[in-house]
Amino acid sequence: MSGQNEVWSLCRAIIRWHVTYGLQACERHEGLGDLLPAYRRFLQQYGAISVQNERAAAAIAREQIDGVLAWSGREVLPDSTWREVDAPSSLLQNPPDTLIAAATRILVLLEQLAKTPPVDDAPRVFELPEGWWQRQVPLMRHMKRIQSVCWDETETKLRNDFQQVVAGLEQHGLGGLEVLVAAHKSARHSRQDRGKEEDSQTGFYVYSPACFNFQLATGERTLVSRLVRGEVHLGRVVVGVSQGWAIEQHDRGRRDDH
Amino acid sequence: MTIEVGIEIVNDRDIEVVVELPIGSIFEVSVASGAQNVATSQPYVFTIPPKSRLHTPVRCVCLNQDRSIPYNLTGRPTPFRYDSEAIDQSEVWATVGNPRASDW
């Protein structure tokens, strides 16, 4: 979500300012001598990490507002900061100008995020219905948006989500995961062609099979149902065979029999 | 675009088995192959005698316009079928490339 990305960028901006300018500025301030050891400890603790959790973000904001960093609250953040911390567009449109404004915005955003359940925790878009191989069960269309920093992360999440649904099918020689991932990739390419790129700001869409017009290929005598019931099993399945493949396989089988 | 999938179905039992492949039955290849997945362009019914195996090609259309044409790739049937009474390549590509989250 963009709110969360804003929080991480704001944290990076505050830390970056303190790491780059902080010690010199602190030493220039009168009466801050006693604060220096604690300030150095803060820089050691936070200077080298990439904040990616909300508790750490809140701690940084509170230190900036009324803790060990408070002396610097009115310091101005350079314009170049936002590019350096990879700020999302929502932040670039209206960046805070001072450190205390950045910290205040972090706390406001965290409060908003606490009220919004993460989309990744939303139920899976797709579950195989109970006894799906025994009857015709229509699949429904569902969609959700997940938060990822990039497509590769989205694909990993997709695979994890769908893998849990189709995990039991492999023992019957059935797939399902690859076609669903490939369909999402195709949809993404189509959106890119139309100039509707997804990114970490908008989130990435996850669709149930029905959204691609996929339904279950089940029925009393269908290959899928017979495979799951163990009434037949599969030998080789080759996608993209030349004409004459069946004859070659038949001949090979006869040679093997002899 | 027509792609043929070669399937080997094994009947180890002592009775004849009739196996149906509904129109639109989807076969997949690995995403890493970069090739298209496919769906049968017509329904099939196979009768497999006891203790025998059937090698048969089935005609398919491709599902993913942005991917390459599959050739001689190991595949798997999936529990899914492309839901249509008549399979048209252009329509399939357009539908898979533009998923709809609602019926309206």
- Pick the residue with more confidence: A99 or A199? A99
Scanning every residue of chain A, which has its alpha carbon at the shortest distance from the alpha carbon of B25? A217
Residue B102's pLDDT band (boundaries 50, 70, 90)?
A: low
Q: Which residue has the higher pLDDT, B19 or A149?
A: B19
Closest chain A C-alpha to B46 CA, distance in angstroms: 10
Q: What is the pLDDT of residues A138-189, one digit of tens each?
A: 888 888 878 777 888 888 888 888 888 888 888 899 999 999 999 999 998 8
Of B83 and A200, the structure prediction assigns the larger pLDDT to B83
- Report chain B's C-alpha Rg in angstroms: 15
A214 touches B at CB < 8 Å: yes
- Exposed/middle/buried for residue A246 (C-beta within 10 Å: 0-12, 13-18, 19+): middle
* Closest approach of B44 to chain A, Cα-based (Å): 10
Enumerate residues 30 to 59 of chain B having a beta carbon within 8 A of any beta carbon in chain A. 30-31, 35-38, 48, 53, 55-57
Phi, then psi, of A227 in degrees rounded to 5: -65, -45
Give the pLDDT confidence score for residue B55 in this predicted structure: 94
Closest CA to A88 of A182, A153, A8: A8
Going from the C-alpha of A66 to that of each of A60, A70, A104, A107, the distances in angstroms are 10, 5, 11, 13
Nearest Cα of chain A lies from the Cα of B40 at a distance, in angstroms, of 11
Quote the mean pLDDT of chain B.
94
Average of per-residue pLDDT across A7-32: 87
What is the value of pTM for the model shown?
0.65
Measured between CA atoms, how close is A90 to chain B, in angstroms? 27
B1 touching A (Cβ < 8 Å): no
A186 vs B63: CB contact, 8 Å cut-off?
yes
Cβ of A218 within 8 Å of Cβ of B79? The answer is yes
User: Which pLDDT value is given to residue A253?
Assistant: 67
pLDDT tens for residues B40-68? 999 999 999 999 999 999 999 999 999 99
ipTM of the complex: 0.96
Mean pLDDT, residues A53-81 taken together: 88
Going by pLDDT thresholds of 50, 70 and 90, the confidence category of residue A49 is low
Which of B6, B25, B69 is closest, CB to CB, to A236? Answer: B6
In this prediction, residue A119 carries a pLDDT of 58
CB contact under 8 A, B98 and A214: no
Residue A229 in this model has a pLDDT that exceeds 60 = yes
A residues 182-211 closer than 8 Å to B (CB) = 182-183, 185-187, 189-190, 205, 207, 209, 211
Q: Which residues of chain A make contact with B100, given a CB cutoff of 8 A?
A: 141, 211
Indicate whether A249 pLDDT > 90: no
Q: Which of A207, A222, A239 sits opposite B5 (nearest CB)?
A: A239
State residue A257's pLDDT score: 60
Per-residue pLDDT band for B104 (boundaries 50, 70, 90) equals very low
